[in-house]
Amino acid sequence: MKIVVLAGGTSTERDVSLSSGSKIYYALKARGHQAILLDVYLGLEFNEPVTKGLFEKDIDWAKDIRAVSESHPDLSRLKEQRKDGGRSMFGPNVLALCELADIVFLGLHGANGEDGRIQAAFDLMGIPYTGTGYLSSALAMDKGLSKQLFRQAKIPTPAGITLKNGQQADPASVPYPCMVKTVCGGSSVGTYRVERPEDLPDVLTKAYTFGEDVIVEQFISGREFSVGVIDGKALPVIEIAPLQGYYDYKNKYQPGSTVETCPADLSSELTAQLQGYAEQVFEALKLSSYARIDFMMDASDDSFYCLEANTLPGMTPTSLLPQEAAAVGMSFEELCEKLIEVSLARYRQA
């Protein structure tokens, strides 16, 4: 098939996305597909007419992609790289190439990629893509809305409040330690653990730099898990244990920073319970194709709490979904093929 892998973009997860995209791109090439890797924002400056022949050119589209750095990227100079000033999210020739593809593999993460906007544009243009649709993407991306749906579906989630537009909470009304998160962030960017009431106002101010709304929620002390779901069926559970601190941006993407165990060391009863919750989340958010659901287990009573759903989970060398797939004998290349298969099935059913 002719496949465009879309990565990059303008979110704080840009570098992670480029790493995911390059790994997906090489896997698809190895499977015999005619693949092109594009940065959705920077696009492709090309003097010749864009035709299907571009898919057949002998070009390594990922040769300049670097490993994910320890800190999230500085996006302030990104617009300077666009000759047109960068008003559109789609860079030069991106839409033209996507329209020529059999499917677009979305390797995007975070805002302007995982929040349903690009999915909605593609739906209007009749461009098939991997992953869930625009509405479920938007619901999952907004942690405040998704937590409301978790509660409605009786899925346990940490207690918390949503603050809007620079609003400050009364520090005395919050339990400590607590977590402060930007509502529409990802990869733990804009996420802070707060130990003392006097630290909360400054932390909220920092969190608002990543978006208008933030969540202040109960801190769950215990073990962290994630469960991939493909076509509504849960994969084996993976446990994440950072060697230092919590599972932040650095610990997620720097090899050797975190011990990941799959299948997780849980009883069969607890494993089944956690997989059941993951499948319930998939249904509650009206997800399709695939996703990855993150949980904490309270050390005091082994109860689970759902943190969030990721509709375009990472596909980097350290990412969790590929490790879960490997636990059931699925190689990374086979996983990419499977994600295309379940995504295309959505269009056949429409």
User: Which residues are identified as catalytic?
Assistant: 13, 187, 253, 292, 294, 308, 310, 314
Residue 255: cis peptide before it, omega within 30 degrees of 0:
no
d(C-alpha 9, C-alpha 73), whole Å:
11
Element (H, E) at 208: helix 200-208
Give me the amino acid identity at 21. Answer: G
Give me the amino acid identity at 252. Answer: K
Nearest 5°: the CA angle 281, 285, 290 is: 75
Q: 254 Cβ partners below 8 Å, 6+ apart?
A: 68, 70, 318
E-strand spans in 64-219? 103-106, 160-164, 178-182, 191-194, 213-218
Tokens representing residue 287 in the block:
């997800």
d(C-alpha 338, C-alpha 328), whole Å:
13
Residues 16, 314 contacting (CB under 8 angstroms): yes
Tokens representing residue 280 in the block:
């319930």
